[in-house]
């Protein structure tokens, strides 16, 4: 959605300050692009059921993108993955310095909730959106997954433990994006739960695919540092490349079957994303 990209550029976090790089640091990784996968999930669900609400939904969609971008900035820090490349651009701590990168990530994290609080929805909807993003991005979600990933970096985990790691680190924010779209358009509880469960497994597939990409693509092809999982509990390290691809194929097939059970409005809206992301681990 080109409208969302324009909205993003028009609503970059900025403030009046004599600090020479503060505003640039907050904007750099947002302007570097990225898949915009999470905000697109939210917006396409809104488009499917309430197209007149799409422009109003740009604010929470941007909140999700800002929150995700904060997580990437912090994930790349020297104390974390120490990665020099993200979204095809130098990471913030290499462009500026580590403290600037930490603070830029902190700023995007908190600004995400300000965007939701000021969005054009009823108070109860805004509160629910804040709750979802805080829950799935925080103590019981993304941060927990990151903590497990780092603590057990040199300690082999079981495949099921690694799946649980990535359900938290990666999948919960993807599922949250889908659930936030469902809340905005007022889908019933059963539909919300089905979309959230779908999002969890879609997020797990996303991570398995990332491990395959890390193993099989160059940094130029992937747009980020690859070959960086040598000491990590990646699916490749635990299962080997062939078995990991088979796992991704099986999960993608299951997700496709579940996707085809969604109503036609939702299938039509999400199909472009599913056509690409269910198969991105396969040779093109």
According to CATH, what is the number of the domain 2-277?
A: 1.10.600.10
The reported pLDDT for the residue numbered 232 is: 77
Give pLDDT tens digits for 41-100.
Answer: 999 999 999 999 999 999 999 999 999 999 999 999 999 999 999 998 999 999 999 999
pLDDT of residue 62: 98
How far the first Cα of the chain sits from its last, in Å, is 24
Is the C-alpha dihedral spanning 97, 102, 103, 104 positive or negative?
Answer: positive
d(CA 55, CA 59): 8
Q: Give the distance from CA 104 to its chain's centroid.
A: 18
pTM over 0.85: yes
Residue spans of the domains in the chain: they are 2-277
Sign of CA dihedral 272, 278, 281, 284: negative
| E runs forming strands in the chain | 85-86, 89-90
pLDDT digits (tens, 9 = 90+) for 178-213: 999 999 999 999 999 999 999 999 999 999 999 999
Mean pLDDT in residue range 217-229: 59
Q: Kindly report, residue by residue over 230-249, the tens digit of the pLDDT.
A: 567 899 999 999 999 999 99
Q: CA 226 to CA 233: how far, in whole Å?
A: 15
Label each residue of 256-276 as H, E or C: HHHHCCCCHHHHHHHHHHHHH
**Contact 24/15 with Cβ under 8 angstroms?**
no
């Amino acid at each position: 959605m080109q409208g969302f990209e324009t909205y993003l550029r028009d609503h970059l976090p900025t403030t009046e300050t004599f600090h020479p790089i503060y505003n640039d640091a907050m904007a750099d990784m947002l302007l570097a692009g990225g898949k915009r996968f999470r905000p697109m999930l939210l917006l396409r669900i809104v488009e499917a059921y309430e197209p007149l609400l799409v422009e109003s939904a740009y604010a929470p969609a941007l909140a999700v993108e800002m929150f995700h971008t904060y997580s990437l900035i912090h994930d790349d820090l020297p104390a974390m993955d120490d990665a020099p490349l993200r979204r095809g651009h130098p990471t913030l701590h290499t462009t500026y310095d580590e403290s600037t990168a930490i603070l830029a990530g902190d700023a995007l994290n908190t600004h995400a909730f300000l965007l939701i609080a000021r969005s054009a929805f009823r108070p109860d909807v805004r509160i629910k959106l804040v709750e979802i993003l805080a829950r799935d991005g925080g103590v019981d979600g993304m941060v927990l997954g990151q903590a497990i990933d780092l603590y057990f970096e040199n300690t082999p985990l079981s495949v099921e433990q690694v799946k649980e790691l990535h359900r938290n680190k990666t999948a919960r924010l993807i599922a949250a994006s889908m659930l936030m779209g469902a809340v905005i358009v007022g889908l019933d509880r059963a539909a919300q739960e089905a979309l959230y469960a779908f999002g969890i497994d879609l997020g797990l597939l996303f991570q398995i695919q990332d491990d395959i990409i890390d193993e099989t693509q160059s940094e130029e092809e992937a747009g980020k540092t690859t070959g960086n999982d040598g000491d990590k509990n990646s699916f490749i390290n635990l299962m080997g490349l062939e078995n990991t691809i088979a796992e991704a194929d099986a999960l993608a097939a299951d997700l496709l079957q579940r996707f085809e059970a969604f109503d036609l409005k939702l299938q039509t809206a999400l199909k472009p994303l599913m056509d690409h992301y269910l198969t991105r681990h396969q040779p093109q």
